[in-house]
Structures are given as C-alpha cells and as structure tokens.
Amino acid sequence: MLVNAKEMLDLAYENGYAIGHFNTNNLEWTKAILLAAEAKKTAVIISSSEGAAKYMGGFKTVANLVKNLHDALGITVPVAIHLDHGTYEGAKACIEAGYTSVMFDGSHFPIEENLEKTKEIVRLAHEKGISVEGEVGGIGGEEDGVASAGELADVEECKNLAACGIDFLAAGIGNIHGVYPADWQGLNFDRLKEISEAVKMPLVLHGGTGIPDDQIKKAISLGVSKINVNTECQIAFAKATREYIEEGKDQQGKGFDPRKLLLPGTNAVQALVEEKMDMFGCENSAK
Ligand code: 13P
C-alpha cells in the first residue's frame, strides 16, 4: 500500500535525517527508485511533475504504475506518490487520481492568493488522508519550461503558509533546479535557520542536484527533511545509456532489445538513488 508523506517526514524531522524525493519519468525510473528504497530500507517519495505525468499518460497512469509496481516487486518500505510543483487544477486532479501526496506550488501568485488556494488544497487533500507541500519563494531554474530566479523566502510568508495546515514547506533559500552555475553563492543558511525556527515543521530542499554534500548535511541539521533530486538521475541515465551504445552493445546479439538497452541506465539511476539515500542519512530508517 502506498502511504502519504507526512509520517515519514515527521520521523525524519524528529530524527535528523532526510527522505529522498526522486522524480519518475517512466517504468524503468519507477522500478529503480522502488528497488533502491527497498535495498536501503528507507521510505521514499516518488514524484511526477505535471509534464512527466502528461508524457506518461496522465495522473492515473502514474499512480497506478507506482502502486502496481510497488505490489509486484514486494516492496515493504513506505512509499508515497507525490505531485511535484502542482498547479491548483493539477493538485485537485491528483487528489482524485490516487496520488498520496501533492505539492501545490502557488509561489508565483501574490501571497494572499497563494494562502487562499493552499488552504483549499489542504482541505481537499486532508479529507482523503493525502499530505500537502506548499511553497514560498520561487526556486530558481527551469521546471517544465517555467523559469524562475532563485529567491530567499520571506519568513513571515513562510509562517503564514505553514498556518494553512500544510504538512511540509518548500522555501527558497538560494537553491535552483538543474545544474548550478559556476558562480552560485550556495545555500543561505541564515535564512534557512530563521525559517526553520519560525515554522518548526519539515522543510523541503528542491534542486538537490549538485549541492555539495556538506551543504546538504548542514541543511538537514537545520530542519530540511525532504530533498528533491531529478536532473542528476537524468544525467546518470543518459551517461550509462550512451556508454552502452558507444561500446556497440546494442549491435551485439539482441542488445537492441529495449529490456537490455535500458538496463544500464536503470541500474545507474538505482545506484545514484542509493548513494543519495546514504548521504541523506535515511538508510535503515524503515527497518
Ligand atoms: P534538480 O533537477 O535540480 O535535482 O531538482 C529537482 C527538484 O527540485 C524537483 O522538484
């Protein structure tokens, strides 16, 4: 059975580690993430953006894929299927489609509108036992073609959004999606500390790709309990697939069989996810 993300994140928050959030794109990705979580004995959050869900055939397809693979693979650790950076309409649709957790990203709306819409999503989600992530302060970079500059979330706004009943909060602290530029200033720990003290709830760090380990660990010590990683998995998948083809393996025997062709990439995603779980300190947390 899939679960919501509240309990696993509350546990992480209380015990000083973070749960990994990994975006899925297809069957192989989903399998890799589930098998990594089972191998590392940790809860995990599998998410789809709205764009990835559209690519995969809609929210129901994604929810059923994760649920059915979870059952077929005999996964015993807690798994949540989460909507990443949801719109108002998208979050509502996922609440109906079988997701166990949704993010409503109203960070681009004026704060009053963000608060109002977040409250409504919380009401609809909580009625069904679904957890909710809210966001204040845009995360920079590009997500599904929507670009925003990295921001530092306003502490009062964080407090007001937390009071809407969300279960965990994504707040901009200088993090951005995708590969960090060479002149990136790093995470703003002063702001993270202020936000953490003000809201006292699990915080979410988006843009996990390429943040140095020591900054990740410091962020966890200051209340970050969920870390989102996407781009790094895509790069690992592409690299392993490229090597397979460059070595001519697709032209040997039945190496062109998609089950063979996609295997090195899938294994690379699983290995990376396991590595991240070790670094986030969540391994063996679901024993
Ligand atoms: P990266 O693609 O930078 O790892 O960010 C992932 C993310 O934050 C998804 O919400």
SS3 assignment for 68-118: HHHHHCCCCCCEEEEEEEECHHHHHHHHHHCCCEEEECCCCCCHHHHHHHH
Q: Assess contact for 104 and 118: CB atoms under 8 A.
A: yes
8 A C-beta contact, residue 274 and residue 34: no
pLDDT score at 139:
81
What CATH number corresponds to the domain at position 22?
A: 3.20.20.70
Q: Record the pTM.
A: 0.96
Pocket test for ligand 1, best of 87, 231, 233 (most atoms within 8 A of CB): 231
The residues carrying an active-site annotation are: 84
**If we measure between CA atoms, which residue out of 68, 117, 110 comes closest to residue 92?**
117
d(CA 14, CA 239): 37
Ligand 1 centroid, distance to 115 Cα (angstroms): 23
pLDDT at 107: 93
Determine the residue of 33, 176, 209 to mutate for testing ligand 1's pocket, defined as the one with the most ligand atoms within 8 A of the Cβ atom: 209
46 contacts 33 by C-beta, under 8 angstroms: yes
Mean pLDDT within 245-261:
98
The CA distance from 84 to 177, in Å, is: 12
pLDDT score, position 145: 58
pLDDT digits (tens, 9 = 90+) for 169-183: 999 999 999 999 888
Q: How many domains does the chain have?
A: 1
Note the pLDDT of residue 34: 98
What residues make up the domain containing 74? Answer: 5-280
**Other CB atoms closer than 10 Å to residue 123's CB: what's the count?**
12
| Residue pLDDT, tens place only, 137-147 | 888 776 555 55
Burial 1-34 (b: 16+ CB within 10 A, else e): ebbbbbebbbbbbeeebbbbbbbbbbebbbbbbb
d(CA 78, CA 1): 8
Phi, psi of 158 (to 5 degrees): -60, -45
- Residue pair 46/82 in contact (Cβ under 8 Å)? The answer is yes
pLDDT at residue 143, as a whole number: 57
The pLDDT, as a whole number, for residue 146 is: 53
More reliable by pLDDT, 1 or 218: 218
Q: What radius of gyration, in Å, describes the C-alpha atoms of the chain?
A: 18
**286 belongs to a structural domain:** no
Q: What's the confidence (pLDDT) of residue 1?
A: 86
The pLDDT score that the predictor gives to residue 140 is 74
Ligand 1 within 6 A of CB of 230:
yes
Q: 285 lies in a domain?
A: no
Domain-embedded: residue 287? no
Span of 184-188, 193-197, 203-207 with lowest mean pLDDT: 184-188
- pLDDT tens, 145-172? 555 557 899 999 999 999 999 999 999 9
**Could you tell me which residues are annotated as the binding site for dihydroxyacetone phosphate?**
178, 207-209, 228-231
